[in-house]
Structure 1
Amino acid sequence: MFGTGVLSLPERLSSLGYSQALMPILFGVIASISLWPMIWICSKYHAKNLFEINEEILGKSLGKCINAFIVIQLILLATAKVSNYVQLIQSTALQEQTTSIPLILVLLLVLYIVNGGIKNVARFCIMAFFITIPMVYFLKWSINKGDISHVFPLFNHSWNDFFVAFDQGFNTVFGYEVILIFFPYIINKQKAFKHALIGIWISVSLFFLTTLVSVMYFSEWQLSNVQYSVLHLFKAGGFSFVERIDIFGITLWVFLVLSSVSGYIWASMKGVNSIISKRKSSHVYIIATTIFVILTLPLSHENLERAFIVSYRIGYGLLLWPIILIALHFIKKSRWNHE
């Protein structure tokens, strides 16, 4: 689930300098390993999503408390993606204007997508992928002007630099954990792991290509200091009929942002339905309003970023949560066998 994270991924990994090129591969390996427990626990409860599994294993009271925590986390992740895209628009295209109108338009489009249900969200994600994948072509100018020697040596960094880059960069691959919520809607569940892996590695391949080209094209100072550096890769060349190709890229990127935000909001809506034990379409409007209020509060960009960084770090817990559920599942199963 792409957002705007990949646009600033070279900057997030800049503590590694030119050694950052292989980091997306490591992210892909970790994502693949953490995907297996998600699929396993979901396969044991075919017709139930994560929220229902929590209540089944932990009991209703504790399960609902955990679910409320997960819903807050999902809303914060969606808010971070919307915030990053709106900030991107303001810093590149609408520098003299407020972001209220773009924010409202993005949320209205998300509401339209989510109200169509999970099938509509899935269709939009597929459409967004095929609309935006041609942007890879824009990297050819940077490749031609880049220097492949920047890539070597591969491991010229300290462990501290590595952990800083990992902490700031791994959240770029977040999104696959939503399979914990939409797993019951998958028709061919036996192939869910295979298909999810394919999706992860398509994304990782694009992340790898982006970081590799960035390392080839930019200096180490530029990797650390140029904001949304991937847009500058697009500007390395251009078409005679497009004045600012970076604006063209931002316009197409909204499809990726909408697809990822729609997935998070749909998942958080299912969580609210589970907590309240009622299915209401109004819940999605409450979630969208919450996001709007958070982003229009008189908070500085730095304070918002700190809150989002905390939510990213808490997000690691959501990736590890299925492992805890598997352990509790076996404990509960062994008790049933003894009885």
Structure 2
Amino acid sequence: MQPIEAQRKIDPFIVFFVIISTQIGVGILGFQQLLAKSAGYDSWISVIIAGVATHIVMFMIYKMLNEEDAGLASIHERVFGKWLGKLFNLLFAGYFLLGLLTVTRTYIELVQVWMFPGLSVFLFTFFFFLLVFYIVSGGFRVISGLSFFSVVLPIYLLIVFLFVIPYTDFYNFFPIYEHSTKEILQASRDLTLITLGYETLLVFYPFIQNGQRSKKWAHFGLLFTTIVYLYSTILSFAYFSEEQLQETIWPTLSMLKIVQFPFIERLEYIGVVNWNIIIIPNVCIYLWCASRLFKQTVKIKQRKSAIGVLCIFLFITPQLETRIQVDKLNDYFSNVGFVINYLYIPLLFILLFIVKKVKKK
């Protein structure tokens, strides 16, 4: 595998922004509905449990990367051999492409529901993918720079949500632990969709200068997203009743409806537009990781594979027309992501260390 030039690598602290940009996407706009159905006002406990789980998996990821000092493709080859390792690389690439499709179509649905009901999905997808391809063509440094802005620019939204506090009732959370442990854990499982993305580190790790120095920044990124989701959960459950949340598809945006300024009447429109800045790095990282794995596995140039993928998805995306289809797509990605992050990665972690000990003997 050819060494990566220093000018193509990113500083370790940038990983903080990349991790956040992979985790915070369209899922934060509606995850409260799932929590309300599973654990109700005890959902804040589920958010903390889900956050701790991501730190455990991240610890395993860095342990594996430290052993190989390379990315996912090298780990697969070390554990499974050349040909079986390539098969697993392609399965991971498919997983990242599923993430790309899920995020893209869910955001388009958001735009349709809140702003333009008659929006042409094909045309929107075409221009959106043009922008995505332009960014991905610039390389991982460009994507990581965009990740920085996707975190910094919309940060004001966290302050705007404080305007709902006069209409909240924090006594809703008492008494604590009214739901069973099983229900709370189920709610944590339901949060899988919004915590996915950090596993892309397995692919872009070789593009980090002094990769092990980025470990603390990756964990800080996970901590930041956990705090953001906890913040959103507490405000949502204090503002809405449990029954309202079960019927509200986009609780986060619905809270913006009550916020008004003399110069802005519909702040939720600004929120929908700003979310484009947030999800673009998300989509770009998924596409970059998939095309990177294609390059390492079947020797296709990243630009060519990116073009091919986007052309295929340009025609697949408009076929997902109904809310039910988009929901099923999200559920499928969540289920696959759960298997990848909480079953496959721990298994790969164990297998790598077994192989290492066997080879030493």
Query: Is the partner of 2:30 in helix, strand or coil?
Result: helix
Which shows bigger deviation, 297-306 or 53-62?
Answer: 297-306
Question: Which residue identity is paired with 1:309?
Answer: D
User: Aligned partners of 2:305, 2:98: CA distance in 1, in Å?
Assistant: 16
Indicate if the aligned counterparts of 2:121 and 2:318 stay in contact, CA closer than 8 A.
Answer: no
**1:151 matched residue in structure 2:** 173
Give the Cα–Cα distance (whole angstroms) in 1 for the partners of residues 109 and 210 of structure 2: 39
Please name the residue that 2:14 is paired with. none
Aligned to 2:113: 91
Residue 169 of structure 1 aligns with which residue?
191
Matched, 1:131 2:141: no
Aligned to 2:9: none
Q: Distance in 1 between matches of 2:93 and 2:212?
A: 27
Q: For residues 29-68 of structure 1, what are the structure 2 equivalents within 5 Å?
A: 29-46=52-69, 48-68=70-90
Contact 2:50–2:189 (CA<8 Å) still a contact in 1? Answer: no
* CA distance, structure 2, for counterparts of residue 41 and residue 116 of structure 1: 28
Cα deviation, 1:213-246, whole Å, max 9, x if unaligned, reads: 0011111121111111101111222211112100
C-alpha separation in 2, matches of 1:17 and 1:326? 34
Separation in 2 of the partners of 1:337 and 1:210?
A: 49
Q: Summarize the Cα distance change of 1:290–1:312 in structure 2 as closer, same or farther, 3 Å threshold.
A: farther
Q: What is the letter of the counterpart of residue 354 of structure 2?
A: I
Instruction: Pick one of 225, 233, 255 that aligns with 1:233.
Output: 255
Q: Name the residue aligned to 1:277.
A: 299
Instruction: Work out the percentage of aligned pairs sharing the same amino acid.
Output: 23
1: distance between equivalents of 2:122 and 2:262? 33
| Counterpart secondary structure, 1:213 | helix
> Which of 66, 80, 95 matches 2:102?
80
Q: After superposition, what is the alpha-carbon deviation per residue over 1:235-260, rounded to whole angstroms, capped at 9, x for unaligned?
A: 22221111210000111111111011
Q: CA deviation at 1:11?
A: 0.9
Q: For this pair of structures, how many residues does the alignment match?
A: 337
Contact preservation (8 Å) 1:81, 1:261:
yes
Residue 180 of structure 1: SS of its match in structure 2?
Answer: helix
Give the unaligned 5+ runs of structure 1.
Answer: none
Does residue 318 of the first structure (1) align with residue 340 of the second (2)? yes
- Does the CA-based 8 Å contact 1:21-1:215 persist in structure 2? no
Root mean square deviation, CA, Å:
1.7
Shift, 1:164, TM fit: 4.0
State the TM-score, normalized to the length of structure 2: 0.88
* Secondary structure of 2:261 counterpart: coil
Q: Hey, what does 2:309 align to over in structure 1?
A: 287
Q: Which residue of 1 aligns with 2:31?
A: 9
Match of 1:26 in 2: 49
Distance in 1, Cα, partners of 2:163 & 2:330 = 34
- Greater mean deviation of Cα atoms: 299-308 or 95-104: 299-308
Deviations 1:119-141 (A, max 9, x none): 11100000111111111121111
Q: Is the 8 A contact 2:32 2:245 kept in 1?
A: yes
Which structure 2 residues correspond to residues 211-230 of structure 1 after superposition, within 5 A?
A: 211-230=233-252
Change (3 A) 1:294 1:160: farther
Q: Is there any run of 5+ residues in structure 2 with no aligned partner, and where?
A: 1-21
For residues 84-104 of structure 1, give each alpha carbon's deviation from its aligned partner in whole angstroms, at most 9, with x where no partner exists: 100000011011333222222
Distance in 2 between residues matched to 1:231 and 1:97, nearest whole Å: 19
- Cα deviation code 1:164-223 (max 9, x no counterpart): 423322220111111111111111323222110100111111111111000111111211
Distance 1:127 1:294 in 2: 30
Match of 2:175, SS? Answer: coil
1:140 and 2:162 matched: yes
State TM-score, norm by structure 1. Answer: 0.94
